[in-house]
Amino acid sequence: MRLAVVGAGAVGASVVELAGEYDHEIVALADSSSAAVDDSGLDAASVLDRKRDSGRVGDADPADALEADYDVLVEATPTTLGDAEPGFSHLRRALERDRHVVLANKGPVAERYGEVRSLEADSRGSVLFEATVGGAIPVLSTIDDLNGQVTAARGILNGTANFILSRMAAEGLGYEHVLAEAQDLGVAEADPTFDVEGTDAALKCVILANVLYDDSYALEDADVEGIADLPGSALELAAEDGRTVRLIGEVADGAVRVGPRLVPETDPLSVSGTQNIVQLETSHAGRLNISGRGAGGPETASAVLADVGRLPPLE
Amino acid sequence: MRLAVVGAGAVGASVVELAGEYDHEIVALADSSSAAVDDSGLDAASVLDRKRDSGRVGDADPADALEADYDVLVEATPTTLGDAEPGFSHLRRALERDRHVVLANKGPVAERYGEVRSLEADSRGSVLFEATVGGAIPVLSTIDDLNGQVTAARGILNGTANFILSRMAAEGLGYEHVLAEAQDLGVAEADPTFDVEGTDAALKCVILANVLYDDSYALEDADVEGIADLPGSALELAAEDGRTVRLIGEVADGAVRVGPRLVPETDPLSVSGTQNIVQLETSHAGRLNISGRGAGGPETASAVLADVGRLPPLE
């Protein structure tokens, strides 16, 4: 497949770097202020070197990438809430041109799912978005393969929050202390709100709900509680009882809920550090657990490229 | 898709029962002595009732099912070692007719993988076999999606052996006692050799090796040790150290090994009871863990039907 990648952060850059190993070609790469476009294929190393050295990927206008001769648009700009722009417009343009779209950006499918599906229905292109839920973990493709048999999903979908809770439990340290440590390690951002308030996990659960119920949930439909107010004593009490606290997202019975929950220490759900896990309840195949790295450039790019491999050839 | 199902045991019967939920049609079902064939589609309930009541699925000859007008042959006869017959001949006939094959039977891909791939190369049909490794767990499709990025695999691929080890550890009971209990519960067969000697786990690892290395491993290439001679004292010693013993199959560095191994009690690998788990090591996406039910009619049928959904339309 011929890929145009919009967004040249960790995920976009990794897609460019790894595409060759999956036998795909990069014909365009755009960041927010520049683009490189070459219908005969870009050289991954040189375009990424240029970005590193000059801050620009090339001399073209970002909009030129959207008009390149690609089969699949990889949308890897940052997730935005509300109107999910500019990701949504990028997706619309690709579908209008009857091209496929693979999203790493959660916005369009978390905030405007009904519109995405309606644009897709009018296009010869398809939209896939495995990378938006659980990074490297193959959640959405497994749900798709099970063809309607998945009845509920729950799991740990934010590595930053899980790292903080794991460290608080293991070391008996308070929230503020562990958050500072996570920031030093680069596991938490300077402004950790998105992760510790549960917003990021909630967006992923909203996407799961949209897929499971084929409906248009958005962030405001989720019942969300974060971990910032969790006292260390709660973790101590849990430990006395062989349990721990995890930030669990759940999609069940039509509702989306995210919040700190007690989990037995030996439960598959109590993964440690920045790991993510998803449990799928199925009608006929029992419960499936899938865990692995929920974030990171190459990890998320692997999910993007697996999606590309699942797309049918464009007629 | 139009399915012909050969083998009317737990898996074959579940495929017939669930196919409608996946929007597929059953045009033939064969057991070892009879068949039902109807190009306009069999009624699942009535053919399974007949099997239950009379021991026969219909009045046709089993061979007639192989000549029915199907898109996909589902091979669900029991796994046999050595020549993998009659499963292998069923698969060959379907590929000669340019039809797809989905295997629940491990024999052809564990014992004659090179021949299977060579027949497939000469056919318009494809061969998929997710159900042969880990029951409901989506192992092979995940490996396929990762397109060569999986470098090694290990896991627990036999629920009977895992049940016995879990019970020995939890209750401090000896092997013979727990085996008898497992037989009473229907978790172990009257002749448990295939499970407790590691043969079943080894066949699954051989299949994983064939997929990972695109080579022709067979059972004799595996280094296999079972659990029948494991003393209860080994589990007690492990427990004093926070560890337990599991029958682990591993495919790494070109070798296939199955044997009892020490595993930390908190390790994702130490699943309990009849659960299966597979860990995949990847070049760019870290380690993935996938666990769930490794056996059972509906569970295995779900994997078969997921494979059917992944097949391309026949030209």
Name the least confident of A225-234, B23-32, B249-258: A225-234
Give B-chain residues touching A138 at CB under 8 angstroms. Answer: 138, 141-142, 145, 288
Contact B265 A265 (CB under 8 A): no
Contact A290 B293 (CB under 8 A): no
Residue B127 is predicted with a pLDDT of 98
Contact A285 B271 (CB under 8 A): no
**Residue among B277, B155, B265, B285 nearest A287 (CA):** B277
Cα of A45 to nearest chain B Cα, Å: 17
Average pLDDT, chain B: 96
Residue A141 is predicted with a pLDDT of 95
Specify whether B204 is catalytic: yes
Residue B315 is predicted with a pLDDT of 72
Query: What are residue A260's DSSP bridge partners?
Result: A247
- Report whether A79 contacts A158 (CB < 8 A): no
Rounded Cα distance between B87 and B50, Å, is 24
Residue A274 is predicted with a pLDDT of 93
Confidence of residue B266 (pLDDT cuts 50, 70, 90): confident
* Interface probe with B: pick from A150, A151, A289, most Cβ of B within 10 Å: A289
Residue B129 is predicted with a pLDDT of 98
- The sign of the torsion formed by the CA atoms of A130, A132, A137, A139 equals negative
Contact B285 A138 (CB under 8 A): no
Residue A315 is predicted with a pLDDT of 72
Q: What does chain A look like in DSSP terms, one character per residue?
A: -EEEEE--SHHHHHHHHHGGGGT-EEEEEE-SS-EEE-TT---HHHHHHHHHHHS-S-SB-HHHHHTSS-SEEEE-SPP-STT-TTHHHHHHHHHHTT-EEEE--SHHHHH-HHHHHHHHHTSSS-EE-GGGTTTTS--HHHHHHTTT-EEEEEEE--HHHHHHHHHHHHH---HHHHHHHHHHTTSS-SS-HHHHTSHHHHHHHHHHHHHHHTS---GGGEEE--STT--HHHHHHHHHTTEEEEEEEEEETTEEEEEEEEEETTSTT---TTEEEEEEEESSS-EEEEEEE---HHHHHHHHHHHHHHSPPP-
Q: Which residue has the tokens 């000549």?
A: B67
Of all residues in chain B, the percent with pLDDT exceeding 70 is: 100
Give A-chain residues touching B296 at CB under 8 angstroms. Answer: 286
Mean pLDDT along residues B304-314: 94
Closest alpha carbon within chain B to A312: B312
Confidence of residue B104 (pLDDT cuts 50, 70, 90): very high
Of all residues in chain A, the percent with pLDDT exceeding 70 is: 100
Give B-chain residues touching A137 at CB under 8 angstroms. Answer: 288
Q: What is the ipTM of this complex?
A: 0.93
Please identify which of the residues B106, B112, B204, B261 carries the catalytic annotation.
B204
pLDDT in tens, chain A (315 residues): 999 999 999 999 999 999 999 999 999 999 999 999 999 999 999 999 999 999 999 999 999 999 999 999 999 999 999 999 999 999 999 999 999 999 999 999 999 999 999 999 999 999 999 999 999 999 999 999 998 999 999 999 999 999 999 999 999 899 999 999 999 999 999 999 999 999 999 999 999 999 999 999 999 999 999 999 998 889 999 999 999 999 999 999 999 999 999 999 888 999 999 999 999 999 999 999 999 999 999 999 999 999 999 999 987
Residues A2-27 have pLDDT tens digits of 999 999 999 999 999 999 999 999 99
Which candidate from B22, B137, B146 shows the least CB-CB separation from A147? B22
* Interface probe with A: pick from B14, B275, B284, B289, most Cβ of A within 10 Å: B284
A117 φ, ψ (degrees, to nearest 5): -65, -35
Give A-chain residues touching B288 at CB under 8 angstroms. Answer: 136-138, 290-292
Neighbours of B217 (CB within 10 A): 24
Domains of chain A by start residue, with CATH: 2-135+297-310 (3.40.50.720), 144-293 (3.30.360.10)
Residues B157-188 have pLDDT tens digits of 999 999 999 999 999 899 999 999 999 999 99
Give A-chain residues touching B306 at CB under 8 angstroms. Answer: 145-147
Residues A300-311 have pLDDT tens digits of 999 999 999 999
Mean pLDDT along residues B208-218: 96
